[in-house]
Amino acid sequence: MTGEPWVPPKVWTWSAPSGGRFASINRPVAGPTHDRPLPVGRHPLQLYSLGTPNGIKVTVLLEELLATGHAGAEYDAWRIDIGAGGQFGSGFVAVNPNSKIPALMDHSTTPPTRVFESGAILLYLAEKFGAFLPATHRARTECLNWLFWQVGSAPYIGGGFGHFYAYAPEKIEYAINRFAMEAKRQLDVLDRHLANHAYLAGDDYTIADMAVWPWHGALARGEIYDAGEFLAGHEYRHVHRWYDAIAARPAVQRGRRVNRSAASAEGGTPERHAAADLDRGG
Ligand SMILES: N[C@@H](CCC(=O)N[C@@H](CS)C(=O)NCC(=O)O)C(=O)O
C-alpha cells in the first residue's frame, strides 16, 4: 500500500464504488431497484440462477433426481445476470429478499413455495423427493453437518480468499495471507475426512457432496480463482479422488452446464426448459 494509512470515519457512508470486479453491483441497502416480474415456464419447479458454484449445486441435484426417475423434478432454469443487476428486480426479490442466486419457486404446492439459500434449496428438494439425504438419524445428521459446514465456510473462500486473490483492485498481502491460510485449513479438514470416507456423509453420495464439490473441489483443482498452484491444491489427494468420482457422474456433467454462458469451457446451456436443451449440448 502507498500513502497515508486510511483512518475510518466515525460513521461509514457510501461515497464511491470500492473498485474491483463486482463492485458496481454492491450496495449497502436491500430491496428491489426496478420493476421486473420473473418469467414462469411450464414445469412445477422454476429456478432462477446462474452457473456459479452456488448455482451448480442445485442444477446438479435436479439432474440427479431426474436421472434416478423423479419426473416431478422437471424444471425451468432461468438465467439471472447478476453483473447486470438481475437479482435486484422486483420479481427476484420477492423470491429471495437477499438478492442472490439461486432462488426457487415450487408451483406444485398451493400456494407456491419460495425457497432461497442454496443449502435450504438442496434440503427442500431432497426432502420433497426423498433422495440424496440419508434416512437414518445418524447418517442424516452427518450429511447436514457437512451441508451446513459448506454454507458457513464458503464465504471465507469466495468473499475472503477469492475476492482478495482474484478480484480486489490491489493485492493486499495481509488479506491474501489471512484467507489463503483459511482456505488451506478448510481443504485440509476435507482431505482428512475423505481419507477415511468415500463421501462426506459416509458410503453414499448426498446433497452434502453436491454442495461442497463446486467450491472446495473446484478450488483444489484450480478451477476457481485460478489458484490451484498458489494453494498447492494437488496436495489434497483425497479431495481429488472424491472430486473425480463426482465429476464422472453424467448428472453432474449435465448440471454443471446449466445457466452458464454458451461460450464457457463446459459448453454452457444458458437456459434449460427441457432435457433436450442439455442433450443438444448447447
Ligand atoms: N449464501 C448464499 C450465497 C449465494 C451467493 O452468494 N450468490 C452469488 C452468486 S454465487 C450472487 O447472487 N451474488 C450477487 C450479489 O451479491 O449481488 C447461498 O448459498 O445461496
- Cα dihedral: 231, 232, 235, 236 (round 10): 30
Query: What type of residue is 250?
Result: P
Domain tally for the chain?
2
Distance of CA 43 to the CA centre of its chain: 22
Please tell me whether residues 224 and 162 are part of one structural domain. Answer: yes
Q: What is the CATH number of the domain that holds 110?
A: 3.40.30.10
Tell me which residue has its CA closest to atom 13 in ligand 1: 100
Whether residues 123 and 261 fall in one domain: yes
Q: What is this structure's pTM? A: 0.96
What's the CATH number where 156 sits? 1.20.1050.10
pLDDT of residue 16: 66
Written as one string, the DSSP assignment of 148-199 is HHHHHHHHIIIIIIIIIIIISSS--HHHHHHHHHHHHHHHHHHHHHHTS-SB
Q: Looking at the structure, tell me whether residues 145 and 209 fall in a common domain.
A: yes
Helix, coil or strand: residue 14: coil
Ligand 1 near 25 CB (within 6 A): yes
Co-location of 70 and 145 in the same domain = no
Q: What local confidence, expressed as pLDDT, does residue 18 receive? A: 67
Helix residue ranges per DSSP H, the chain = 53-67, 90-95, 118-129, 137-155, 173-194, 207-212, 218-220, 237-247, 250-255, 275-279
Q: Higher model confidence: residue 70 or residue 26?
A: 70
Are 50 and 104 contained in the same domain?
yes
Q: How far is CA 117 from CA 16, 84, 139, 211, 262, in A?
A: 29, 20, 23, 12, 25
Atom of ligand 1 nearest to the CA of 80: 12
Given this model, what pLDDT does residue 78 score?
Answer: 98
Q: Is 52 in the pocket of ligand 1 (CB under 6 A)?
A: yes
Model pLDDT for residues 241-278, shown as the tens digit of each residue = 999 999 999 999 999 999 999 888 778 999 999 999 99
User: Are residue 171 and residue 191 in the same domain, yes or no?
Assistant: yes
Instruction: Tell me whether residue 202 is in a domain.
Output: yes
Residue 24 pLDDT exceeds 90: no
Q: Measured from the CB, is residue 87 less than 6 Å from ligand 1?
A: yes
Pair (146, 78) in one structural domain: no
What's the pLDDT score for residue 187? 98
CB atoms within 10 A of CB 139: 16
Q: Is the model's pLDDT at 22 over the cut of 70?
A: no
142 lies in some domain: yes
Cis before 169 (ω within 30): no
Q: Rounded CA gap, 88 and 99, in Å?
A: 6
Judge if 113 and 99 occupy the same domain. yes
Query: How confident is the model over 1-14, as a mean pLDDT?
Result: 86
Q: Alpha-carbon distance 272 to 154, whole Å? A: 26
Does position 147 have pLDDT exceeding 90, yes or no?
Answer: yes
Q: Is residue 14 part of a domain?
A: no
Predicted confidence at residue 107, as pLDDT, reads 98
Q: In whole angstroms, what is the distance from residue 219 CA to residue 200 CA? A: 17
15 lies in some domain: no
Atom 15 of ligand 1: nearest residue by CA position: 100
Judge whether 271 lies within some domain: yes
Residues 193 and 239 in one domain: yes
104 lines ligand 1 (CB under 6 A): no
Confidence class of residue 59 from pLDDT cuts 50, 70 and 90? very high
Are 60 and 151 within one domain? Answer: no
Residues 107 and 155 in one domain: no
Residue 156 lies in a domain: yes
pLDDT for the residue 15: 77
Residue 25 lies in a domain: no
- 428486480: which residue's cell? 89
Mean pLDDT of 236-240: 98
Shared domain for 142 and 243, answered yes or no, is yes
- As a whole number, the mean pLDDT across the chain is 95
Percent of the chain at pLDDT above 70?
95
Residue 8 within any structural domain of the chain:
no
pLDDT of residue 33: 95
Give the residue numbers spanning the domain of 114: 45-132+255-279
pLDDT digits (tens, 9 = 90+) for 190-236: 999 999 999 999 999 999 999 999 999 999 999 999 999 999 999 99
Indicate which atom in ligand 1 lies nearest the CA of residue 55. 10
The residue whose CA has the least distance to atom 4 of ligand 1 is 100
pLDDT single digits (tens) 96-143: 999 999 999 999 999 999 999 999 999 999 999 999 999 999 999 999
Q: Residue 2 has what pLDDT?
A: 62
Q: Residue 230 has what pLDDT?
A: 98
